[in-house]
Structures are given as C-alpha cells and as structure tokens.
Amino acid sequence: MATVLYITAHPHDHQTSFSMAVGKQFIESYRDAHPRDEVITLDLYKQDIPHIDADVFSGWGKLRSGSSFDQLSASEKSKTGRLNEIVEQYVAADKYVYVSPMWNFSFPPILKAYIDAICIAGKTFKYTESGPVGLLTDKKAIHIQASGGVYSEGPAASFESGHSYLKKIMQFHGVSSLEGIFVEGMAATPDQAESIKDKAIAKAKEAAKSF
C-alpha cells in the first residue's frame, strides 16, 4: 500500500478551475486503479503553512546551537513545529500529485510557501562534499498545470516557470522524474476550452492507472 499526497494550490474548486477539474478526475481514477492506497488531500489554501521568517530562523538557530524545543519562544515553537510536521508528512508519503494554475508564468505563492516548508536539509536532501544530494529517491511525482496560453512548448515556452521550477525541486530532492499534464490554451482559444479540458482529463485518467 502506498501513501499519496494530493496537493492542490488553487482557491477555486473543480467546477471553476481547469486544473482542479483535471486533478479531480486524475485522483478519482487513481483511487479506482489503486484501491488499497491511501490518498491524503492537502488543499494548500486551507493549510497552516508558516512562511520562513525571523521567528523560524531564530528558532532553527537556537535548535542548532543545542537549545531544546521547550526553550524556544511561543512563536518559534509554533512555526518551527508546524514546519517539521509538514516535512515529516511529505517524507512519509510515497507519491506526490501537484495541481496548480499558472499565474504570471509561475504558480500561486501558497505553493512556493509549501515548497519552502519541504526543502529541509536532513529531511528531503543533504549536503555533501560534492554538493547537495536528494534523499527522496524512491518517490514518484506528477504535476497538473493549467494556463490560459500555451507554455509547455512553442514560442512562449521560455516564459514557463511553474512546472520547470517544480521539476528542479523534485530533482533536488532525488525524485528522478516529474510527469507533466498540461491544460493550456483556453484563454487563447476559448471556443476550444472544453475540448482542451476533455483531452487533458483523458490523459490524466490514463496516467493515473500506472502512477
């Protein structure tokens, strides 16, 4: 049995969002194909994800210097403790499904906050004399991304900074591959929006079977 984190980064649901609509079909198909697996849904807009700020840095610094967790201030305890919960949950999972829209060539800031929370030395990667090494070499990941224009290929591909950034993070963590399912071009060709979504859903359902 595998544990899957279904990580969504959109304030709207599947009835309004193209990425969420495709994500919903993917995870439903995944559950049908892998009924024994546990799927944990993380709606990042409903999660407590502390930003890495002065409290976090000071708390981490005190812990590295030998202070006990009980010696931290209340805000340091709250934030560093929550960040530890997030990364421990992430490390314990076997597969990751990311669902996000493209906003201004990247993804919503809530997803960046989550990525910051899981990029923890000693948990998802480690430093060595030859450089950082990822620790999640036995994991799998897939990313469903929607955008109004076409950015996965063609003349605007160089502007794409969402999936490409997430791919770098996965590689940094040791995840060997990140499959992308792109729902794109709906704003550029609104008359084809439903057809684009349907094709992406069909691809997502097929990908879910072997994920």
The pTM of this model reads 0.96
Per the prediction, the chain carries an average pLDDT of 97
Q: Is 172 annotated as a binding residue?
A: no
pLDDT in the model for residue 111: 98
Contact 83, 93 (CB under 8 A): no
Q: Is 103 annotated as a binding residue?
A: yes
Classify strands 38-43 and 131-134 as parallel, antiparallel or unpaired.
unpaired
Q: Is 104 annotated as a binding residue?
A: yes
Q: Is 177 annotated as a binding residue?
A: no
Q: Is 106 annotated as a binding residue?
A: no
Q: Is 18 annotated as a binding residue?
A: yes
CA dist 21 → 39, 88, 122, 124, 208 (Å): 17, 29, 36, 30, 14
Q: Is 60 annotated as a binding residue?
A: no
Residue 110's SS3 state is helix
Mind listing the pLDDT tens digit for each residue in 129-180? 999 999 999 999 999 999 999 999 999 999 999 999 999 999 999 998 899 9
